[in-house]
Structure 1
Amino acid sequence: MPAPLRVSQDELIAAIRRIAEHDGIDAVTMSSVASAVGMRTPSLYKRAAHRHDLLRLAADDAARELVAGLAGIPEPDGDPGEVLARLARALRAFAATAPRISALLFAAPSEEAAPSPSASEPLLRLLLAAVEAASPGDPLPAARTLTAWIFGFSTMEQAGAFRLGGDVDDAFEFGLDAVLRAIGVRGS
């Protein structure tokens, strides 16, 4: 009897992300992932109880990747509003490179498929701290508003929904400025 194929966690996550980005979130099934990594489906159940466990692995990986990317954004001197603008642009860029996996961060099909608290907490802490530094009052409503706008804009952009002409980058900057003003971001 041949020895079972050893699949690393990184290989498993890479396969989940490839399937999701190429064929869509619904294509991530126990069977499709097992096939992609060269194992039998029953063997995959030793690693994940159901497909939403697989999606959570990818969501956690995406959250960690995004936090690492955001941590590398240099902070401008004296302008907390610009920090938020840089974070917004980085979130949009991430959504452009991983549109389907980034959707798991903000609109997972279930609680089980969403990033785990341990993976999402650093992202939330980073966003809340940036909002708190730039906007008066409770940072949570402002952070939710900003995040919802960025995710909505990025989702529409990835779907090709902006068909009226004009420059989409200019539209993003216009919207970002409007949202930042709406949440009360203090200027430099």
Structure 2
Amino acid sequence: MPAPLRVSQEELVAAIRRIAEQDGIDAVTMSSVAAAVGMRTPSLYKRAAHRHELLRLAADDAARELSTSAAAFSSNGADPDRDPATVLTGLARTLRAYVATAPRVSALLFAAPSEQAAPSTASAEPILRTLLDAVSSAVPGDPLPAARTFTAWIFGFCTMEQAGAFRLGGDVDEAFEFGLDALLAAIGARRQH
């Protein structure tokens, strides 16, 4: 009988995420993760076939965290009479706050280096469902184009913010709210100020 693995899944995921946030996604390798958890690299292959499987573990963990944060906006828990713009604003702010806490790992949710490194369907589904439900309450017909636009703008803004790309001065929070207002108006969900 093989010896039991001494590194828990939680320890493994924490090490992957720590490496990714400190040194970048490219620094997550089989050898760097094995060293971080105190095992030999060949032993890590029993847990993951390649580095993109390691990245998927981190992406799944991030998707679960974001889903938990966004749960207040799900159609199951939200007031059905709630203003769609309020729900979408809450989702946008939640995503921005999450990206600020885990900028590199959160990128795996939207721009993973491969399909194998992206979150699994099961992990991504709750946040996708929350987003589609929120957008569908504001947009007649197919919510997918609006949901894609909404997500792409938020992720793009957050990516630029985390990279320090807003160098022209001004208030970045104000710019976020301005862009969010413009986006909500474009999809027909105006905020009441």
TM-score (norm 1): 0.94
Gaps of 5+ in 2: none
Gaps of 5+ in 1: none
Structure-1 residue corresponding to 2:150: 146
- Of stretches 176-185 and 40-49 in structure 1, the one that deviates more from structure 2 is 176-185
> What per-residue deviation string (whole Å, max 9, x for no partner) do you get for residues 11-52 of structure 1?
000000000000000000000000000000000000000000
Secondary structure, in 3 states, of the residue corresponding to 2:137? helix
Instruction: Give the aligned length.
Output: 186
Correspondence 1:28 to 2:32: no
Contact 2:181 2:190 in 1 (8 A): no
Correspondence 1:121 to 2:121: no
Contact 1:136 1:184 in 2 (8 A): no
Choose from 154, 163, 182 the match for 1:178: 182
TM-score (norm 2): 0.92
Distance 1:6 1:167 in 2: 48
- Identity percentage over the alignment? 77
Choose from 131, 134, 140 the match for 1:136: 140
> What per-residue deviation string (whole Å, max 9, x for no partner) do you get for residues 80-101 of structure 1?
1110010000000000000000
Correspondences of 1:1-188 after superposition (within 5 Å):
6-72=6-72, 75=78, 78-185=82-189
> What per-residue deviation string (whole Å, max 9, x for no partner) do you get for residues 76-129 of structure 1?
763111100100000000000000000000000000000000000111111000
Contact 2:72 2:78 in 1 (8 A): no
Secondary structure, in 3 states, of the residue corresponding to 1:67? helix
Distance 1:187 1:133 in 2: 14
Secondary structure, in 3 states, of the residue corresponding to 1:134? coil
Please report how far the alpha carbon of residue 137 of structure 1 lies from its aligned counterpart in structure 2 after TM superposition: 2.1
Q: RMSD of aligned C-alpha atoms?
A: 1.6
Please report how far the alpha carbon of residue 75 of structure 1 lies from its aligned counterpart in structure 2 after TM superposition: 4.8
- Of stretches 76-85 and 24-33 in structure 1, the one that deviates more from structure 2 is 76-85
